[in-house]
Amino acid sequence: MRVLFDTNVAIAALIETHPNHSKAFPWLRKAEQNEIDGVIGAHSLAEIYSILTTLPIQPKISPAQAEKLIQQNILQNFEIIELTSEDYQSVLHILVTNNVQGGATYDALIGHAAFKAQAEKLLTFNDKHFKRVYPAIAHLIEVPA
């Protein structure tokens, strides 16, 4: 089964003190053990790095530690889905069609990565956002429980 991870699920899986860690971590483990085919949007790599290096936790995660977490947990176990300029144009059209503005744009990019990857599931803790910004993949959305 091809499962695309939203950024928020990846972060929760990586950070033991995150409130959703116990829900997200088993999915990361499934990807590591090849029980599922984990996929993630290339854009999410930058988001994960940004979030890891700015989390208000102690001790802080250094840039080198963030890179190591991403290398060991994401890059080694996930297929990275890159979007082309044509993909970005499609996403812009979807945003306009659905009257979406602002930061939800980034959810649409992740939704399009799931569409492009032919994912069978998109794991997210923001299910309502994805259903609104990319209705065509609403049936793929699952909140880790």
**Residues 79-132 pLDDT 10s:** 999 999 999 999 999 999 999 999 999 999 999 999 999 999 999 999 999 999
Residue 38, classified by CB atoms within 10 Å of its CB into exposed (0-12), middle (13-18) or buried (19+), is buried
| Domain ranges, ordered by start, for the chain | 2-142
CB-based contact 48:15 (threshold 8 Å): no
For 2-142, CATH number out of 3.40.50.1010, 3.30.70.1050, 3.30.2040.10, 3.40.1160.10 equals 3.40.50.1010
pTM, to two decimals: 0.95
Phi, psi of 99 (to 5 degrees): 55, 45
Q: How confident is the model at residue 25 (pLDDT cuts 50, 70, 90)?
A: very high
